[in-house]
Amino acid sequence: MCDTSIIARIRDEKIAMELIHFGARMQVLEYETSLSRRWLLKLYKEVKGCSPPKGMLPFSADWYMSWEQNIHSSIFYNIYRYLQKSEYGRPVEIMLKAYWLYLGQSQTEPNEKPVLELTRAWTLLRFIDCGMINHTVCRSCGGNFITTPEYMRQTFTCSLCFPPSRASKKTTLPVSGMLSASA
């Protein structure tokens, strides 16, 4: 740690605290900062008041394809893409800002977990970077949605235009303009 700057360490600690506040897992903290695991554990316990959850990160793209998860993931990713074009900073800082804006649009109850938790949002960006998930335009509404690569070879209709029969009416996201091609 002797060769890292104090400013870089403070920036990493600030990012780590924001990630912890939003519920990031330890693997995300280790990937996005240069802080030691031991330091991150201490920081996590101080911020959250408990040890971090254990277990593996999500590893399947299928979760993002369910109707409600797809809508939330697509909204987050469209916000992220917009901020990428208009903001400067590290990708993790842009992701944190996009997630904060997504939470503002998701309208969950105070003690209710959002549909798209931070670790899943972070994993979504990793899946997009490696080509496991793509960005596709709905042929009906023209909105941009995340899809698996097989949808690139066929026309795609989103779950807002053609909701599945089992879809409940509980999703109350203000999606007008959030998924448009201009985002």
Beta-bridge partners for 147: 134
Question: Does residue 156 contact residue 146 with C-beta atoms inside 8 Å?
Answer: no
Place of tokens 């897992």: 25
Decide: pTM greater than 0.95: no
Residue 12 burial (10 A CB sphere; 0-12, 13-18, 19+): buried
Mean predicted confidence (pLDDT) in 1-24: 89
The two tokens of residue 121 are 């949002």
The per-residue pLDDT for range 68-86, each reduced to its tens digit, is 999 999 999 999 999 999 9
- Rounded to whole angstroms, how far apart are CA atoms 95 and 81? 9
| Helix count and strand count (H, E) for the chain | 6, 2
The per-residue pLDDT for range 148-161, each reduced to its tens digit, is 887 766 788 888 89
Domain boundaries, the chain: 6-48, 61-153
The per-residue pLDDT for range 104-122, each reduced to its tens digit, is 988 777 778 899 999 999 9
Place of tokens 């924001």: 18
